[in-house]
Amino acid sequence: MTKDFDEGIFLNHLAPTTPWPFKIPIERAEGIYLYTPDGKRYVDLISGISVSNIGHRHPEVIDAIKQQLDKHLHVMVYGEFIQAPSNLLADKLTGLLPPSLNCVFLVNSGTEANEGALKLAKRVTGRSGLVSFHGSYHGSTHGSMSVSGNETKKAPFRPLLPDVNFIHLNDFANLGTITTKTAGVILETIQGDAGVRIPSKAYLTALRKRCDETGALLILDEIQCGMGRTGTLFAFEQFGIVPDILTVAKAFGGGLPIGAFISSRDRMKQLSHSPILGHITTFGGNPVCCASALSTLEVLTCGNLLSDVNRKGKLIEDLLVHPKIHEIRRAGLMFAIDFDSEERVHRIVSDALDNGVICFWFLSHPNSFRIAPPLTINDDEIRDACQVILKAIEKS
């Protein structure tokens, strides 16, 4: 018997993250669909947690990856050699951003992008204080975890970074916590794992102003809400503010692992002296990942994919009407759907799964499940998936 999808190997020899993994064997994926070896098809309504924004195995991305595979894989640690994929990616990405975000540090994941951003804020300001938000999730390494809000998840790993204060989103009174001792303020432009929490424009304007007054650097984490998820390439574009540092990952790589923190050249060059090599990475800017990311950016920014995100989001919102739903929070195609209990959410998610639609929970908001489909999903696919979810809600 082939070992490819052996459950025993999966359970005994791959480290677990929960006692109850989905355990679906996946043989291949295409567009919005995942396929098991025995031919069962699932709709990936969560994009592998906000990664497959242009669908699985987009043909242009696969082509770009294959072309790079025939040239070279890793040749040198980040920052030494000039390589076409990272050059072209940095050129494309900075061309899509405001002029003050003109320098990209390529890393391998979201948490690593945030680690770099936090270090950059400390290095540039010469301060140590960090301010973050209740409910936030910025990653699982020590620094990112230190600025993440979920105390239950953090407690066993203390001590973490000192000098981190948490404030509430949209609460103007808390802005005084940001002072001239604050190196950086880190915020998901749209909070993901808090259950899709959206700041008001007035709040983000005031936050930007407070950072300017105190000299604290504003770090916007768009690892989950960026790359077109909310209808613009980056969510901050909808709020009339520009961060000092932007972090991206997840959908940035089109299915391969890559992240980045992005800031001004002036700030970024401080990581190259006193000490030199103040922030380094072996695989950051991996050529195959960069080729995939560049192609993903090209797909995202040509045609009407982004301008159609809100219409598709509204269609899902209009279809998902049921008395058991307490609230829907939505930004583009990023949804949290609230119910009266965690148990009901589990019943709905597992019934939808049995019927071929993958939804998922949030890290810090148990009464909700998430929907974040590939932006490429079409109207018929939306209608079919919503039917399955409505039936699951009815049965729950």
Ligand X SMILES: Cc1ncc(COP(=O)(O)O)c(C=O)c1O
**CA-based nearest residue to 327, from 384, 382, 367, 360:** 367
Residues 231-260 that bind ligand X (CB under 6 A): 249
Q: Using CA atoms, how far apart are residues 322 and 329, in angstroms rounded to an integer? A: 15
Report, in Å, the least distance between residue 36 CB and ligand X.
25
Question: If phi over 0 gives left and psi between -120 and 50 gives alpha, with beta otherwise, what is residue 339?
Answer: beta
Residue corresponding to tokens 């973050």: 132
Contact call for residue 188 and ligand X (CB under 6 A) = yes
Each residue 128-147 as x (binds ligand X by CB under 6 A) or -, in order, gives: ---------xxx--------
Query: Cα torsion for 52, 118, 368, 58, to the nearest 10°?
Result: 0
Residue pair 43/357 in contact by the 8 Å Cβ criterion: yes
DSSP-derived letter for residue 368 is E
Residue among 55 and 110 whose Cβ is closer to ligand X = 110
Beta bridge partners of 219: 186, 245
Cβ of residue 264: shortest distance to ligand X, in angstroms?
Answer: 22
- Consecutive H or E run containing 126: none
Strand ranges in 2-78 using DSSP code E only, listed in sequence order: 28-30, 33-35, 41-44
Which has the closest alpha carbon to 131: 58, 182, 85, 180? 182
285 lines the binding site for ligand X (CB under 6 A): no
CB of 255 to ligand X, least distance (A): 13
Kindly write out the interface string for residues 205-234 of this chain, putting x where it contacts ligand X by CB under 6 A and - elsewhere. ----------------x-xx----------
Question: Which CB, 86 or 189, lies closer to ligand X?
Answer: 189
Q: Which is nearer to ligand X, 111 or 263 (CB)?
A: 111
Neighbours of 278 (CB within 10 A): 13
Binding of ligand X by 111 (CB under 6 A):
yes
Q: Which residue is nearest to ligand X (CB)?
A: 110
Minimum CB–partner distance for residue 80 and ligand X (Å): 24
Nearer to ligand X, 110 or 284 (CB): 110
337 is written with which tokens? 């759907």
How many residues make contact with ligand X (CB under 6 A)? 14
Does 110 bind ligand X (CB under 6 A)? Our answer is yes
Min separation Cβ 51 and ligand X, Å = 9
CB of 307 to ligand X, least distance (A): 24
370 forms part of the interface with ligand X (CB under 6 A): no
Question: C-beta of 219: minimal distance to ligand X in Å?
Answer: 11
Q: Which is nearer to ligand X, 219 or 392 (CB)?
A: 219
Contact 347, 395 (CB under 8 A): yes
Exactly one of 47, 83, 109, 132 binds ligand X (CB under 6 A); that residue is 109
- CB within 8 Å of 114: residues ≥ 6 apart: 138, 139, 143, 144, 147, 186, 219, 221, 223, 247, 261
Nearer to ligand X, 248 or 388 (CB): 248
Question: What angle is formed at CA 65 by the lines to CA 305 and CA 33, rounded to 5 degrees?
Answer: 50
CA-nearest of 3, 306, 289, 266 to 124 is 266
Tell me the per-residue interface mask from 40 to 69 with ligand X, x by CB under 6 A, - otherwise. ------------------------------
Residue range at the interface with ligand X (CB under 6 A); choices 29-37, 70-78, 82-90, 188-196: 188-196
CB of 147 to ligand X, least distance (A): 10
- Whichever of 140 and 177 has its CB closer to ligand X, that residue is 140
Residues that bind ligand X (CB under 6 A): 109-111, 114, 137-139, 188, 192-193, 221, 223-224, 249
